[in-house]
């Protein structure tokens, strides 16, 4: 876009348009001025995001550590901010927040950035000080930088990664992968044959990729959490050792919903973990309502089943109980920039409520499923056959063999079709209802 006509600094950039998503003929946006107070007045390019993160680290060296945990398919660094106060961050419970795994969901990226800024801006407030002393907050944003750049430069509505495999192209072009279905738990498992076809179609918006964690972006995020959990397990006495991941939140748009496990069955876990997750969403909903007046839909059954999601992996394999997808508000993926700060304030209140909930009710990994459950090193998770879904759900067993997750599923026929009928939802390949 070199030589294109530039907009005046005070003009909102016109590229946030879902109805006319082509960006190739548009003038480029004005770069961010560097003034912190102006950053959330508009959506920002990846270059501006990196400048913002660098400035946060430079201005708060005692609170912020920047770590590079990998690289995207196109070679862009995947960096996390670790934000904490005093003590060894490696020994503190970790709250992991990520946004932008679906590149067109710009508000998810902006929201995680807003939370990072709020943690530091309010670091001297007594309530935030206590949280920073107890937890390390790890923020990865955007998870999918290649796709994010593509939404600014080519196609505002691009959703997937930009992985380019010669044998997995779409009409001779880059197919990419839906990174939200690329995690190594219930990977590609569905009873709905039409949906299964979409999951394995490179031209589909929900293409799962050639194998679990085929995308370097999901591999990097999962490795970060897995290493913490494994170290905590090694240091375990009667309870989890230090440094475990206490929460994993994946921000998306748009549905105004909180989606804890299980996504793959659309059923809440039975026993104490299910109660814990239900109470967690209630706590966040109180914070949302007190901040914005909104109440989010909450529960595993808000959307029909979906395999291979991050929160299901985090709970099913690592035992992270405080995990969910949060679908932010809006009526399209192109939420006006004027809403960035409102959404950010609401979700910042939610993060504080989440951390307080964990302090009150505990954040140690589950003893019912995942690494810390009995036999967790081999039998990582079994789907609960007592769930009040069709009896055909059956069992799912995941084993680790030589570091590779092997998944076996039995008796799943008809489950997704039943849920589709009961909720009347469409599964268009690029429909707006895909989370």
Q: Which residue numbers are catalytic?
A: 327
Residue 317 contacts residue 183 (beta carbons within 8 Å): no
| Residue 124, both tokens | 């001297």
Given the structure tokens 């495999």, which residue do they identify?
165
Phi/psi for 57 (5° steps) reads: -65, -40
* CB of 67 closer than 8 Å to CB of 82: yes
Token pair listed for 413:
């026929």
Q: Which of 136, 145, 296, 298 is nearest to 225 (CA)?
A: 136
Edge-to-edge strand order for the sheet containing 322-328?
Answer: 64-71, 77-83, 136-140, 94-99, 245-253, 322-328, 257-259, 297-298
- Measured between alpha carbons, how far is 366 from 408 in angstroms, rounded to an integer? 22
Helix, coil or strand: residue 182? coil
Strands 64-71, 77-83: pairing is antiparallel
The secondary element (H helix, E strand) that includes residue 396 is: strand 395-401
Q: What is the pLDDT of residue 11?
A: 53
Burial class (CB in 10 A: 0-12, 13-18, 19+), 401: exposed
Cis peptide leading into residue 254 (ω within 30°): yes
pLDDT at residue 146, rounded to an integer: 98
Helices 216-234 and 310-318 meet at what angle, rounded to 10? 20
Helix (H/G/I), strand (E/B), else coil: 428: coil
User: How far, in Å, CA of 39 to CA of 52, rounded?
Assistant: 8
- Count CB neighbours of 345 within 10 A: 16
Architecture of domain 36-151+214-361: 3-Layer(aba) Sandwich (3.40)
Q: Given this model, what pLDDT does residue 15 score? A: 83
- For 303, 338, 345, 419, the CA distances from 384, given in Å and listed in that order, are 19, 44, 37, 18
pLDDT (0 to 100) of residue 238: 67
| pLDDT at residue number 237 | 73
How far is Cα 434 from Cα 225, in angstroms, rounded to an integer? 26
Bridge partners for 82 per DSSP: 65, 138
* Strand (E) or helix (H) holding 398: strand 395-401
What pLDDT score was predicted for residue 396?
A: 37
Q: What angle do CA 28, 30, 33 make, to 5 degrees?
A: 155
Residue 298: DSSP 8-state:
E
**What is the distance in angstroms between the CA of the first residue and the CA of the last residue of the chain?**
31
Number of Cβ within a 10 Å radius of residue 58: 10
Q: Which two tokens stand for residue 303?
A: 């959307």
Q: What is the pLDDT along the chain (435 residues), one digit of tens a residue?
A: 333 333 334 455 678 988 889 999 888 888 999 999 999 999 999 999 999 999 999 999 999 999 999 999 999 999 999 999 998 999 999 999 999 999 999 999 999 999 999 999 999 999 999 999 999 999 999 999 999 999 999 999 999 999 999 999 999 999 999 999 999 999 999 989 999 999 999 999 999 999 999 999 999 999 999 999 999 999 877 678 899 999 999 999 999 999 999 999 999 999 999 999 999 999 999 999 999 999 999 999 999 999 999 999 999 999 999 999 999 998 999 999 999 999 999 999 999 999 999 999 999 999 999 999 987 754 343 433 322 332 222 333 333 323 333 333 333 323 332 222 222 333 333 333 344
92: tokens are 């503190």
Vertex 208 angle, CA 397 and 192, to 5°: 65
Quickly tell me which residue has 């002393």 as its tokens. Answer: 133
CA distance 417 to 261: 19
- Using an 8 Å Cβ cutoff, are 209 and 182 in contact? yes
| CA 84 – CA 123 distance, rounded (Å) | 9
Distance CA 370, CA 236 (A): 14
DSSP per-residue string spanning 130-150: HHHHH-EEEEE--S-HHHHHH
Amino acid 414: pLDDT: 30
Which of 421, 380, 432 is closest to 404 using CA atoms? 380
**pTM, to two decimals:** 0.85
Give the pLDDT confidence score for residue 137 in this predicted structure. 98
């Amino acid at each position: 876009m070199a030589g294109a006509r530039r907009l005046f600094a005070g003009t909102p950039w016109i590229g946030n348009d879902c109805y006319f998503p082509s960006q190739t003929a548009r003038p480029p946006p004005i770069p961010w001025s560097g003034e912190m107070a102006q950053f959330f007045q508009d959506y920002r390019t990846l270059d501006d995001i990196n400048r913002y993160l660098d400035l946060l680290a430079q201005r708060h060296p005692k609170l912020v550590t920047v770590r590079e945990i990998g690289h995207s398919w196109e070679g862009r660094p995947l960096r996390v901010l670790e934000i904490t106060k005093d003590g060894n961050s490696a020994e503190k419970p970790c709250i992991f927040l990520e946004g932008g795994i679906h590149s067109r969901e710009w508000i998810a990226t902006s929201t995680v950035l807003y939370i990072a800024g709020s943690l530091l801006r309010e670091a001297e407030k007594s309530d935030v000080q206590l949280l920073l002393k107890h937890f390390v907050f790890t923020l990865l944003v955007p998870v999918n930088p290649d796709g994010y750049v593509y939404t600014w430069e080519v196609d505002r509505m691009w959703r997937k990664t930009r992985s380019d495999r010669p044998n997995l192209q779409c009409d001779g072009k880059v197919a990419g992968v839906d990174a939200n279905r690329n995690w190594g738990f219930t990977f590609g498992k569905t009873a709905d044959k039409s949906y299964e076809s979409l999951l394995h179609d490179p031209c589909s918006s929900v293409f799962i990729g050639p194998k679990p964690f085929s995308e370097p972006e999901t591999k990097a995020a999962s490795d970060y959490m897995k290493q913490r959990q494994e170290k905590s397990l090694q240091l375990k006495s009667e309870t989890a050792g230090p440094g475990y991941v206490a929460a994993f939140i994946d921000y998306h748009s748009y549905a105004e919903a909180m989606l804890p496990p299980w996504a793959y069955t659309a059923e809440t876990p039975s026993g104490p973990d299910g109660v814990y997750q239900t109470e967690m969403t209630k706590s966040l909903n109180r914070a949302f309502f007190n901040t914005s007046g909104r109440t989010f839909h909450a529960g595993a059954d808000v959307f029909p089943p979906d395999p291979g999601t991050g929160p299901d992996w985090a709970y099913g394999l690592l035992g992270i109980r405080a995990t969910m997808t949060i679908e932010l508000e809006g009526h399209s993926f192109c939420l006006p920039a004027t809403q960035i700060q409102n959404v950010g304030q609401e979700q910042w209140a939610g993060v504080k409520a989440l951390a307080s909930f964990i302090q009150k009710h505990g954040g140690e990994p589950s003893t019912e499923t995942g690494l810390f459950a009995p036999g967790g090193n081999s039998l990582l998770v079994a789907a609960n056959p007592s769930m009040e879904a069709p009896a055909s759900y059956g069992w799912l067993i995941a084993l680790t063999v030589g570091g590779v997750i092997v998944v076996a599923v039995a008796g799943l026929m008809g489950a997704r079709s039943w849920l589709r009928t009961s909720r009347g939802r469409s599964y268009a390949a690029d429909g707006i209802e895909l989370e």
